[in-house]
């Protein structure tokens, strides 16, 4: 009797083991893929070397676009801007001088023309009298030659005075005007560069977000390009997963998946696939084997939550049951 009980027990155990094995063969094994929460991060730096004058935001503060975060100070840049403004003033004065002539100079040139015209009228009358006297043999040929020469000189003086008046009225030559304009443009460009450098002394928030790093301290000197502060757009975070290519079958952009967040009490968040990008050839999950196996590339899958998730922060772990979904 005991023998039959043992045999019956073995049969029950064998049936249980066989049933479990069959259930395991038919059920889908769990495949949990772990990713990470990411968000846009902007490292703020100035394009010029300067000393920190004031810091208006601290680690963890929420900031909005345009908020002043760090104010820098640079007496050298301020002096350079003042010199640039002075250079523009000099160039403008030189341009005005080249493009115009003082009214006193024009009046003087006009008076010289009137005097030259009066001398020409007198020389013409003198020439007429000497010519009549020479015709009656009263004046010598030498006096006639002198009158002719005086008349020609008077006429040339009128032409010279008229040309001087036109030059005073018209101003400088086109070439001189072009040089003056170019010098003014060059001075203004230098001033704009100095002004742009001064604007770099005020570092503002480019996005709405949270300060996640503060390196600037009052009185500290920072070189151009050195990071002063970091701001993260925590309100628009997304999920990133690194997936082997043999697991991508059926995955499409726009597909909805469920993401579990351990840091938020295993909250399940619906998310949508927005991008699938391949990593570099160095990012392989499985190396080549002598048995003829091949490398499997790694793809970065980006998912975005369908609705805002309270408490979601960059760096949190994100889990997806890949076998189920």
pLDDT, residue 17, reads 53
pLDDT, residue 118, reads 85
Element (H, E) at 213: strand 209-214
CATH of domain 29-40+234-321: 2.40.30.170
- Which two tokens mark 292? 């003829």
pLDDT, residue 158, reads 86
The residue ranges of the chain whose pLDDT is under 50 are 4, 6, 22-28, 283, 285, 288
pLDDT, residue 305, reads 94
Closest CA to 200 of 23, 38, 76: 76
Question: What CA–CA distances, in Å, run from 309 to 30, 208, 237, 271, 302?
Answer: 26, 17, 9, 11, 16
Question: What CA–CA distances, in Å, run from 299 to 38, 243, 271, 284, 293?
Answer: 16, 5, 18, 9, 19
pLDDT, residue 65, reads 94
Q: What are 229-287's pLDDT values in tens digits?
A: 999 998 899 999 988 888 888 888 999 999 999 999 999 999 999 998 877 655 454 55
| CATH for 41-74+200-232 (2.40.50.100, 3.40.50.2300, 3.40.50.1100, 1.10.10.10) | 2.40.50.100
3-state secondary structure of 38: strand
Are 317 and 36 in contact by the 8 Å Cβ rule? The answer is yes
Closest CA to 47 of 72, 80, 67: 72
- Please give the Cα distance from 241 to 318 (Å, whole number): 8
């Amino acid at each position: 009797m005991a023998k039959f009980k043992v045999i019956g027990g073995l049969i029950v155990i064998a049936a249980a083991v066989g049933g479990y094995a069959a259930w395991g063969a038919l059920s889908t094994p769990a495949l949990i893929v772990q990713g990470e929460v990411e968000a846009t991060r902007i490292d703020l730096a100035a394009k010029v070397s300067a000393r920190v004058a004031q810091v208006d935001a601290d680690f963890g503060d929420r900031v909005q676009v345009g908020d002043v975060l760090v104010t820098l100070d640079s007496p050298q840049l301020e002096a350079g801007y003042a010199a640039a403004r002075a250079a523009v003033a000099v160039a403008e004065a030189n341009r005005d001088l080249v493009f115009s002539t003082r009214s006193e100079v024009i009046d003087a040139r006009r008076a010289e023309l009137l005097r030259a015209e009066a001398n020409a009228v007198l020389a013409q009358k003198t020439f007429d009298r000497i010519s009549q006297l020479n015709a009656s043999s009263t004046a010598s040929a030498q006096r006639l030659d002198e009158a002719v020469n005086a008349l020609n000189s008077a006429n040339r003086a009128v032409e010279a005075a008229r040309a001087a008046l036109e030059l005073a009225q018209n101003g400088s030559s086109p070439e001189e005007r072009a040089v003056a304009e170019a010098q003014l443009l060059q001075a203004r460009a230098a001033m704009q560069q100095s002004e742009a450098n001064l604007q770099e002394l005020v570092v503002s928030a480019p996005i709405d977000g949270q300060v996640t790093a503060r390196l600037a301290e009052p009185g500290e000197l920072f070189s151009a390009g050195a990071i002063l502060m970091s701001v993260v757009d925590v309100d628009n975070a997304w999920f990133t997963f690194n997936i082997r290519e043999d697991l991508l079958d059926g995955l499409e952009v726009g597909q909805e998946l469920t993401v579990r967040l351990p840091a938020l009490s295993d909250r399940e968040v619906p998310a949508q696939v927005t991008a699938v990008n391949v990593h570099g050839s160095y990012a392989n999950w499985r190396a080549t084997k002598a048995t003829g196996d091949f490398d499997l590339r790694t793809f970065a899958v980006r998912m975005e939550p369908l609705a805002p998730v309270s408490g979601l922060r960059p760096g949190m772990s994100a889990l997806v049951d890949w076998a189920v979904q």
